[in-house]
């Protein structure tokens, strides 16, 4: 007769020695769905010292409190460390009397309401399997850079005076442990959930930025736009320009150009569920390989293209010569620019690849008269400056240590050098280059694919990218994306996950501030948080919680976001107030 199965066996914690170190572990059974064979693997919940004192590890804090309660430890073990860490922190903050706890709460309350409004908390609860403790930790880490502007080494100290979603002190070790617990599965599931919240025809913009740090995991040496050589990683972020919220992010190692990241971005977008979005790409993608790739994959897009692109050059030739402005273009009175739309080549591919029919590619050509005058003026100044510099070098017989640098700095002239003496002998203006610069001055172009938009509709939609540039600045300054310290690849994955959560909340905050009357009351979104921070939560010894009353300015903030103040915090209605007695005789 077989021995009866003990149902508590998978939860019994036993010591397991590996390389001289004792771990507290269980051995749950994992069944192969194909073969039906069971295997037993060790799960380490922490370590045990010589005095049989249990020190909790990362796995112990990643599971929910209900799952922790199922673990059966030996009676001889000392579990005081786990019990002390599990207790709520003791707030060391100003109080209205010796027994009450008085915490700053208004700014945190606003960010929590934003997390609920955007569906962020709900998505995180699904990603982390209803583990509210981990969700509260992630939200606390995401809010902290926006609310304080400090590094995570000051988070535990900041929690003493501020009411946060997480009820335990998040030290630097705890922050690293939480970041390392976030996996690629969590990132993928969150992006899929965020994609499901988009509408059927959303306009998104894809842009990349760089992060620098000596200790950044996965970084390699490269050169940025300023030719500086710090180690760096490249982060690609996709924003929904209608809701003004980020919906996707991905990181790439090293100095990867925008054109090389496009394949990975498009593949991830389709996998995450972005089926019918329109991409507005940045200037880093304005080359023919990227344009051809978007067209061959039937991707709706609005792309900034160079004037040298063949379809754009063909459209500009059709304008002919003009003195002040092209006569065949139409002027827009509101934007004060001239515009026109031209059909582009409807086939892509070439000698080595089969040609493919494109989906209504169109060139949208724009001419700005004020921009043309500024560019022509700058062109004349540059030519005059380069000419004076060249003549001075010839007159003084200057020895040039770098001849190629001199060629680049004086690009509007063809220079002749004495290679042996490294001296400049003569110069000739590059007439074709100067003529081309004069013709192109004032023009810029956008190309659309699979979109039925006129030139000005395309212009106004693509101009929404300006807000995206502000999002990037916010990501770098408020969330610390430009200086992310990580000691492992797992930690880097978790930090980027937390920064994405932070960016969703801060972007919603900035969008409401920019699109409502708050912009006339507060100079920046951070001032909105500063205004709300004076609201406090007071906890009495009997368990009663009181939130201090909201001021008129704080109520206006709630109204702009569509939030209701907590019960009992709004001022009394005018009807409920006693009428003031008029002066004088009745």
Q: CA-to-CA distance for 282 and 103, rounded, in angstroms?
A: 44
Model-level pTM? 0.66
pLDDT value of position 490: 67
Q: What is the mean pLDDT of the chain?
A: 80
- 37, HSE (Cβ side, Cα atoms, 13 Å): 2
Here the tokens at position 64 are 């929910």
Nearest by Cα to 414 from 442, 400, 434, 392? 434
β partners of residue 211:
233
Can you list the alpha helix ranges (DSSP code H) found in 170-303?
Answer: 172-180, 184-196, 258-272, 288-296
Q: Which of 224-228, 514-518, 564-568 has the lowest mean pLDDT?
A: 224-228
pLDDT value of position 227: 44
pLDDT at 327 exceeding the cut of 80: yes
Q: Give ∠ CA 83-84-85 in degrees, rounded to 5.
A: 95
Contacts by residues 413-418 (CB-CB < 8 Å, ≥ 24 positions apart) = 413/386, 413/387, 415/390
pLDDT at 325 exceeding the cut of 50: yes
Q: CA-to-CA distance for 273 and 178, rounded, in angstroms?
A: 27
Q: CA-to-CA distance for 85 and 54, rounded, in angstroms?
A: 12
Give just the sign of the alpha carbon dihedral 534, 540, 545, 551.
negative
Residue with tokens 């998978």: 10
Comparing 262 with 214, the larger pLDDT belongs to 262
Most confident of 260-264, 296-300, 339-343, 538-542: 339-343
pLDDT value of position 117: 92
Mean pLDDT in residue range 531-559 = 87
Here the tokens at position 452 are 């039925």
pLDDT value of position 360: 74
Mean pLDDT in residue range 473-491 = 59
pLDDT in tens, 148-197: 877 788 888 899 889 999 988 898 888 888 988 898 899 889 988 888 88
Q: Residue ranges of the domains in the chain?
A: 9-86, 303-365+446-450, 371-440
Q: What percent of the chain stands above pLDDT 70?
A: 77
Strand, coil or helix: what is 160? coil
pLDDT in tens, 384-438: 999 999 999 999 988 888 888 889 899 999 999 988 888 999 999 999 999 999 9
Distances (CA, A) of 354 to 291, 348, 350, 399, 446: 16, 8, 6, 54, 26
pLDDT in tens, 87-131: 554 444 444 445 677 888 999 999 999 999 999 999 999 999 888
């Amino acid at each position: 007769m077989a021995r009866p199965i003990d149902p508590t066996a998978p939860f019994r914690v036993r010591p397991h020695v590996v390389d001289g170190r004792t771990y507290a572990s269980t051995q749950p059974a994992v069944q192969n769905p194909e073969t039906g064979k069971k295997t037993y693997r060790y799960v380490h919940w922490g370590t045990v010292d010589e005095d049989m004192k249990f020190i909790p590890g990362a796995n112990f804090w990643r599971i929910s409190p209900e799952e922790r309660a199922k673990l059966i430890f030996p009676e001889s073990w000392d579990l005081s460390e786990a019990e002390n860490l599990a207790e709520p922190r003791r707030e060391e903050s100003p109080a209205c009397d010796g027994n009450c706890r008085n915490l700053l709460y208004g700014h945190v309350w606003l960010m929590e309401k934003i997390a609920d409004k955007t569906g962020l908390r709900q998505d995180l609860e699904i990603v982390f399997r209803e583990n509210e403790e981990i969700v509260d930790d992630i939200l606390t880490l995401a809010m902290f850079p926006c609310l304080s502007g400090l590094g995570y080494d000051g988070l535990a100290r900041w929690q003493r005076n501020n009411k946060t979603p997480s009820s335990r002190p998040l030290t630097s070790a705890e922050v690293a442990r939480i970041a390392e617990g976030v996996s690629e599965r969590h990132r993928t599931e969150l992006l899929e959930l965020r994609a499901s919240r988009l509408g059927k025809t959303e306009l998104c913009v894809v842009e990349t930025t760089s992060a620098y740090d000596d200790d950044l995991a996965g970084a390699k040496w490269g050169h940025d736009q300023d030719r500086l050589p710090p180690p760096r990683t490249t982060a690609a972020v996709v924003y929904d320009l209608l809701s003004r919220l980020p919906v996707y992010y991905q990181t790439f190692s090293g100095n990867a150009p925008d054109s090389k990241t496009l394949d990975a971005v498009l593949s991830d977008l389709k996998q995450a569920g972005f089926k019918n979005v329109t991409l507005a790409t940045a200037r880093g993608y304005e080359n023919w390989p990227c344009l051809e790739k978007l067209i061959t994959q039937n991707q709706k897009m609005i792309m900034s293209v160079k004037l040298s692109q063949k379809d754009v050059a063909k459209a500009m030739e059709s304008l002919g010569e003009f003195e002040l402005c092209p006569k065949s273009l139409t002027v827009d009175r509101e934007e004060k620019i001239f515009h026109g739309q031209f059909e582009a080549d409807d086939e892509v591919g070439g000698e080595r690849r089969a040609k493919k029919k494109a989906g209504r590619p169109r060139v949208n050509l724009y001419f700005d008269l004020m921009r043309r005058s500024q560019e022509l003026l700058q062109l004349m100044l540059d030519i005059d400056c380069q000419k004076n510099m060249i003549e001075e070098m010839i007159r003084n017989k200057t020895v040039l240590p770098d001849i190629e640098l001199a060629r680049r700095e004086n690009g509007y002239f063809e220079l002749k050098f004495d290679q042996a003496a490294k001296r400049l002998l003569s110069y000739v203006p590059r007439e074709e280059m100067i003529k081309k610069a004069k013709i192109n001055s004032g023009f810029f172009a956008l190309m659309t694919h699979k979109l039925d938009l006129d030139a000005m509709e395309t212009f106004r939609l693509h101009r929404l990218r300006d807000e995206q540039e502000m999002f990037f600045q916010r990501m770098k300054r408020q969330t610390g994306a430009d200086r992310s310290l990580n000691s492992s690849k797992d930690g880097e994955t978790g930090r980027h996950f937390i920064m994405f959560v932070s960016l969703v909340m801060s972007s919603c905050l900035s969008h409401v501030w920019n699109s409502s009357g708050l912009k006339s009351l507060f100079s920046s979104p951070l001032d909105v948080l500063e205004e709300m921070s004076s609201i406090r939560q007071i906890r009495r010894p009997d368990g009663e919680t009181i939130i201090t009353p909201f001021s008129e300015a704080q109520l206006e903030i709630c109204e702009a976001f569509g939030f209701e103040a907590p019960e009992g915090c709004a001022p009394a209605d005018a009807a409920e107030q006693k009428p003031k007695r008029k002066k004088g005789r009745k």
